[in-house]
Amino acid sequence: MKRFVIQSHGRLQEWVAQEKGYFTEEGLDYEFLVKPIITWSAGVQTVSEAPAEIGRGAFESIEEGRGCNLSAACHWTVNMAAAAGHGKMCGQAYSIAPSGVFVPPESTIHRAEDLADVPITVGYHSGSHFSTLQGLEMLLRRDQIKLHFAGLLLDRLALLVDRQVPAASLFGAPFYVVEQLGFRKLVDTTFMIGHLATESADRENVERYFKALRRAQRDIDLSPELYKHYFLRELPERYHPLVDVRRFGPGERLVFEPYPQDAFERTRRWIESWNLFRPEQTGHAGYDDAVI
């Protein structure tokens, strides 16, 4: 049996489980894949301009293959990927990611309603894309919501910090960076994250993985201050002297409750109402076939 490949997902849980030896203790034969931070903005100290729209995101990276046996992405993306046959959605747990749409402290935009027709920078087919639409559709007409697609989470952070875009949707460590730098959160867009196992992933290994993460989540809940330093591994060095990670929140929290059929089907209907995917990207597998 091949080793179970794990990678960090911009959150604390995998780092804690690795540090405490929980994966090994749960009997998981695994490899922890630590990827270097690779985004178009990661290697520069400042960003001089916003790029042309980048129409590739979390869904597309799953289509191409992420190189690990279990991926985390927003539940909209995982839902669609599983329905299209790009793996199986793990229905035994999900997580909640604090998220929001931020503007610079000097911005003249002060209310969510002021975001009408203002381009908000998000990641294409990613959590920021869908959560921004969902968060704003109760406040604005759908035709008033304007999005600008500009790469990965850290790219959006750079664009906002360097004042190249008027507003951006952020979560994870970047959420706490801009919060600490005085940026204003106009809309809370906290959203659900799902998990997707590859077809080749052994079911027992998936269970061992989640058992380890459950133990890690308990540690984080009890003493989050012991583990916040791992956020520095998820941020380019340019931000390290600007923030104090001890003041960060704990970030994404795993919830060990089922992702039910009703949630799966409601999510699909909402995505279809926005016409967010091309026909060739849309699968038709139902809950029983898409979720394990």
* CA 258 distance to own-chain centroid: 19
- Whether 195 shows a pLDDT value over 90: the answer reads yes
Residue 220 neighbours by CB distance under 10 Å: 23
**Lowest-pLDDT range of 42-51, 108-117, 230-239:** 42-51
CATH fold of 4-290: D-Maltodextrin-Binding Protein; domain 2 (3.40.190)
Percentage of residues of the chain with pLDDT beyond 70: 99
Query: Which one-letter DSSP state was computed for residue 150?
Result: B
- At a CB cut-off of 8 Å and minimum separation 6, what does 190 contact? 96, 97, 98, 99, 100, 131
Strands in the chain per DSSP E: 4-7, 30-33, 70-74, 88-89, 94-97, 99-103, 119-122, 146-149, 168-171, 184-188, 191-197, 253-255
Q: Give the pLDDT confidence score for residue 36 in this predicted structure.
A: 66
Q: Span 191-220, mean pLDDT?
A: 95
Q: Is the distance from CB of 90 to CB of 144 less than 8 angstroms? A: no
Closest C-alpha among 53, 195, 190 to residue 128: 190
Q: Give the pLDDT confidence score for residue 85 in this predicted structure.
A: 94
Burial class (CB in 10 A: 0-12, 13-18, 19+), 272: exposed
Quick: pLDDT tens for 29-78: 999 988 766 677 777 788 877 888 887 888 998 888 877 899 999 999 99
**233: which strand partners?**
none
pTM of structure? 0.93
Quick: pLDDT tens for 122-161: 999 999 999 999 999 999 999 999 999 998 999 999 999 9
Closest C-alpha among 60, 185, 178 to residue 123: 60
Closest C-alpha among 167, 165, 174, 145 to residue 238: 174
**250-to-167, 215, 221, 254, 256 alpha-carbon distances in Å:** 24, 15, 8, 11, 17
